[in-house]
Amino acid sequence: MNEITLLREAGPGAPVLRPAARSAARAALLAEIDGPVRRRRRRPGRATALRIGAAVVAVAAAWAGAVALTGPGARPSSTAPDAMTLVAVEEVTFPLSLDPAPPGMTPSFTGAAGDPEAVAGYTAADGTGFSVYLSPTEPSWAADQFEASDITGRGTTAVLGADATYVVGSSERVCTVADVCFEDHPFAQLVWERAPGQWVNLYGDGPYGDVAALVGVGGALVDRPQPVNLQVGLAPAGWSVVDWHESSGVVGLASDADPSRTLTVQVFPPADGTWTPEERIASETAVGQVADVVVDGQAGKLALVAQVAPDGTEIRLRMLAWQLPEGSLATVYAPEDFAPDDVVAIADGVTYTP
Residue with more model confidence, 10 or 149: 149
Domain map of the chain by residue range? 54-92+231-352, 93-226
Report the distance separating Cα 46 and Cα 53, nearest Å.
Answer: 11
Residue 101 has pLDDT above 70, yes or no: yes
Strand partners, 183: 173
Residue with more model confidence, 223 or 117: 223
Residue with more model confidence, 59 or 212: 212
**pLDDT grade for 3, boundaries at 50, 70 and 90:** very low
Question: Nearest CA to 252 among 82, 60, 49, 72?
Answer: 60
CB 81 within 8 A of CB 93: no
Residue with more model confidence, 146 or 60: 146
Cis (ω within 30 of 0) for the bond into 44?
Answer: no
Length of the chain: 354
CB 16 within 8 A of CB 61: no
Tens digits of per-residue pLDDT, 317-353?
999 999 998 889 999 999 999 999 999 999 999 999 9
Tens digits of per-residue pLDDT, 155-195?
999 999 999 999 999 988 888 777 888 888 899 999 999 99
**pLDDT grade for 36, boundaries at 50, 70 and 90:** very low
What confidence score (pLDDT) does residue 42 get? 35
CB 276 within 8 A of CB 317: no
What confidence score (pLDDT) does residue 77 get? 52
Report the distance separating Cα 271 and Cα 269, nearest Å.
Answer: 5
What confidence score (pLDDT) does residue 53 get? 28
Residue 216 has pLDDT above 80, yes or no: yes
CB atoms within 10 A of CB 205: 26
What confidence score (pLDDT) does residue 45 get? 31
What confidence score (pLDDT) does residue 88 get? 94
What confidence score (pLDDT) does residue 179 get? 82
CB 200 within 8 A of CB 219: no
**pLDDT grade for 115, boundaries at 50, 70 and 90:** low
pTM above 0.75, yes or no: no
**139-153 in b/e burial notation, b at 16+ Cβ within 10 A?**
beebeebbeeebbee
What confidence score (pLDDT) does residue 25 get? 35
What confidence score (pLDDT) does residue 137 get? 86
CB 229 within 8 A of CB 353: yes
Angle, vertex CA 252, rays to CA 251 and CA 253, nearest 5: 130
Report the distance separating Cα 273 and Cα 269, nearest Å.
Answer: 7
Report the distance separating Cα 327 and Cα 271, nearest Å.
Answer: 10
Percent above pLDDT 70 for the chain: 73
**pLDDT grade for 310, boundaries at 50, 70 and 90:** confident
Mean pLDDT across 264-283: 88
Mean predicted lDDT score pLDDT of the chain: 77
Would you tell me which CATH number, out of the four given (3.30.70, 3.40.1000, 1.10.246, 3.90.550), belongs to the domain 54-92+231-352? Answer: 3.40.1000
Compute the radius of gyration of the chain from its Cα atoms.
21
Would you tell me which CATH number, out of the four given (2.60.40, 2.30.30, 1.10.20, 2.60.120), belongs to the domain 93-226? Answer: 2.60.120
Mean pLDDT across 9-20: 33
CB 247 within 8 A of CB 47: yes
Long-range CB contact pairs, 125-128, < 8 A, 24+: 125/178, 126/176, 126/178, 126/180, 126/206, 127/47, 127/176, 127/177, 127/178, 127/179, 127/180, 128/176, 128/180, 128/182, 128/205, 128/206, 128/207, 128/208, 128/209
CB 324 within 8 A of CB 274: no
First to last CA, the chain: 23
CB 265 within 8 A of CB 3: no
What confidence score (pLDDT) does residue 209 get? 94
Report the distance separating Cα 269 and Cα 326, nearest Å.
Answer: 9
Identical fold for domains 54-92+231-352 and 93-226, yes or no, is no
Residue with more model confidence, 90 or 272: 90
